[in-house]
Amino acid sequence: EEAIAREMDRGGQVFFLHNRVETIEMAADRVAALAPQAKIEVAHGQMTPRDLDEVMTAFVEGTVDVLVCSAIIENGLDVPNANTLIVDHADKFGLSQLYQLRGRVGRSTQRGYAYLLIPGEASITSDARERLKILQDISELGAGFRIATHDMEIRGAGDMLGNRQSGTVTEIGFELYNQMLEETICRMRGEESIERVEPEINLKVPAFIPEAYVKDTNHRLVIYKKLTQAESEEDVLDIQNEVSDRFGKYPLATAYLFETMKLRVLLKKLLVRQIDFDGKHVVISFHPRTPAPPELIIAMMKMEPKKYQFTPDYKLVCALKGTSFEEILELSKSVLLRLLPVEAVN
């Protein structure tokens, strides 16, 4: 009650995470009893894409105070005004998952708060106690690697290159190992390693695989993993067709996911560190060594000076008339395609 009131007093919003769809409405009723003044909505993966889209849009736009939700917020959702997270039955989550969830808040200039609720310390497992203690102790920059290390210590790492894998780390890790190996070899040879970026995408587009569409968590993780490994639009299309063949017609949120991952391919080719939508503009933040030809950026600004601006810190600001998810994705893609050097097209 106090946590919700504190956040609302400073004009913010709250995530209340309850990861059991069967009882999520009861959880919402409990929250409503504690905060009768709050506008509360429920979001989970078994809702229809249309209903989920409406709820998420309302939350992003700030018309909802408290979002009672499942773990669908773990991937892809960025709401700068939501800076309090309350996790119900936090002992049921893995360490890396809790760390990632905690990262949903405190992403703006406001201080973030994360409250992890448990039924009682005596009733949770020793592993759960250890996970929560580690999360409480580790908060400094770069803690993600230490979190992953502790998580492997608790669960067992498995055999990275063999058949024995632990938990949901199946198929995860080998490409990172290869990348580190490649960079080390380049340094030993005195060669310049290939510049890489992992773009951060904050377009406020609901892009994910609903639980109602792909019920098995491991199947969803494998699809996400394949998409992050895609090096071309053709790779994404292959995965798109594979998913459609296996699970049937995909919902709108998953269609947005595929389009977002095609966009990610272009962002990586152009060494774009981050792409944001602020409500009126798409802002593309380039790495200083971007291969985007400066003359193309200048030409765009000359042709449409009211639409495009380029800042000294390598940001291309693109004005957008509409605010639909389709318009945001289409403008982003069209701008990036215009800036793609000929040698990077294939």
Q: Domain segments of the chain: what residues?
A: 2-155, 166-194, 200-344
Of the spans 139-153, 193-207, 278-292, which averages the highest pLDDT?
A: 278-292
HSE (CB half, 13 Å, CA atoms) of 72?
29
**What's the token pair of residue 114?**
């994360």
How far apart CA 115 and CA 134 sit, in angstroms, is: 14
Which residues lie below 8 Å from residue 161, measured CB to CB, with a gap of 6+? 174
How far apart CA 237 and CA 47 sit, in angstroms, is: 26
More confident residue, 148 or 283: 283
* Whether pLDDT at 262 is above 60: yes
- The answer to whether residues 74 and 103 touch, using CB atoms and an 8 Å cutoff, is no
- The CATH number given to 2-155 is 3.40.50.300
Q: What is the DSSP letter of 194?
A: P
How far apart CA 324 and CA 263 sit, in angstroms, is: 16
More confident residue, 334 or 216: 334
* Whether pLDDT at 209 is above 70: yes
Entry pTM: 0.49
Backbone angles phi, psi at 336, to 5 degrees: -65, -40
What are the beta bridge partners of residue 114?
85
Q: Exposed (0-12), middle (13-18) or buried (19+): which is 13, by Cβ within 10 Å? A: buried
What confidence score (pLDDT) does residue 151 get? 44
How far apart CA 333 and CA 199 sit, in angstroms, is: 14
Instruction: Give the position of tokens 């498995």.
Output: 158
Topology (CATH) of 200-344: Aspartate Aminotransferase, domain 1 (3.90.1150)
**What's the token pair of residue 43?**
């979001």
